[in-house]
Amino acid sequence: MDDRVHTQMLTAKTRVAPIKTLCVPRLELCAAPLGAQLSQAVKEDIIDNRFPNPKVFAWTDSQVTLAWIKDIPKKWKTFVANRVAKTQSIIPSENWRFVPTEDNPADCASRRISADKLLNHQLRRKGPNWLRQDEQFWTSLDAKPLYNASTDALAEVNSSAQLSLVMQHQQQDNRILDLLSRQSSMH
C-alpha cells in the first residue's frame, strides 16, 4: 500500500426517510446530493497550501443511482433529474464510482454493530483497504453493465427518451423501417 495515502472519516450525515413512500433507488439517490454537498463543505474547509485543489471522488453501492448520475439529467423524470443535476453540479459524473455493499462504510451503522464497536470499526473509520491504493486498483464495474434495465431505473426515463431508445433499437431492423416509411406521418 502507498504510505502517502491516508484515509479517515471526517464527518457523516444522515437523513430520516420521508413520510411519503419512495422506492429504494429514489431513496438511495437522495443520498447523492446530500453527500455531494457534505463533501463540498469538507473540501472548502481543507483547501490550503497542502491541498490547493483536492480531487473529490464519490461512491455509491446503488447501481441504479450510479447509472442515473452517469447519464444526462434531462433523460430522467423531474424527481431524478433534479437530484442528478444537483449532484453533478458539485461532483462531476466521471468522479462517481461503485463500491460493493460489503465495502461501504456508510452501511456500517445499519449492520447491527453495537455503538461502542462502531466507534472503532475499521471500515467505518478508514474505509476499505483498496481505497488506500492507487486509483487504478480501485474496484470498478467497468466490465459489467451498471444495471440490467431494472424496472425502477426505466420508470424514471422521460417518455421522449424512451421513444428515442425504441427508435434506435428499431432502426437495426430494416423490416420495421420499411413498415414505418410506408405509414403516414408519425406526428
- Asked whether residue 38 carries a pLDDT value surpassing 80, the answer given is yes
pLDDT the model gives residue 162: 41
- Mean pLDDT of the region 88-108: 91
Confidence class of residue 65 from pLDDT cuts 50, 70 and 90? very high
pLDDT the model gives residue 140: 58
Cα–Cα distance, 106 to 20 (Å, whole number): 23
- Asked whether residue 43 carries a pLDDT value surpassing 60, the answer given is yes
- Asked whether residue 147 carries a pLDDT value surpassing 70, the answer given is no
**Residue partners of 145: CB distance under 8 A and separation at least 6:** none
Work out the angle between the directed axes of helices 159-170 and 174-182 (0-180°, nearest 10). 110
**Weakest mean pLDDT among 14-18, 129-133, 178-182:** 178-182
Cα–Cα distance, 111 to 165 (Å, whole number): 39
Q: Is 45 exposed, middle or buried (0-12, 13-18, 19+ CB in 10 A)?
A: exposed
Cα–Cα distance, 36 to 33 (Å, whole number): 5
Question: Contact 87/69 with Cβ under 8 angstroms?
Answer: yes
Question: Contact 6/50 with Cβ under 8 angstroms?
Answer: no
- Asked whether residue 169 carries a pLDDT value surpassing 60, the answer given is no
- Asked whether residue 3 carries a pLDDT value surpassing 70, the answer given is no
Confidence class of residue 179 from pLDDT cuts 50, 70 and 90? very low
- Asked whether residue 166 carries a pLDDT value surpassing 50, the answer given is no
**Mean of the per-residue pLDDT values for the chain?**
78
Percent of the chain predicted with pLDDT > 70: 74
Residue type for position 29? L
- Asked whether residue 118 carries a pLDDT value surpassing 50, the answer given is yes
pLDDT the model gives residue 174: 52
Higher local confidence (pLDDT), 152 or 111 = 111
- Asked whether residue 66 carries a pLDDT value surpassing 50, the answer given is yes
Q: Which grid cell sits at 28?
A: 438511495
User: Helix or strand or coil: residue 173?
Assistant: coil
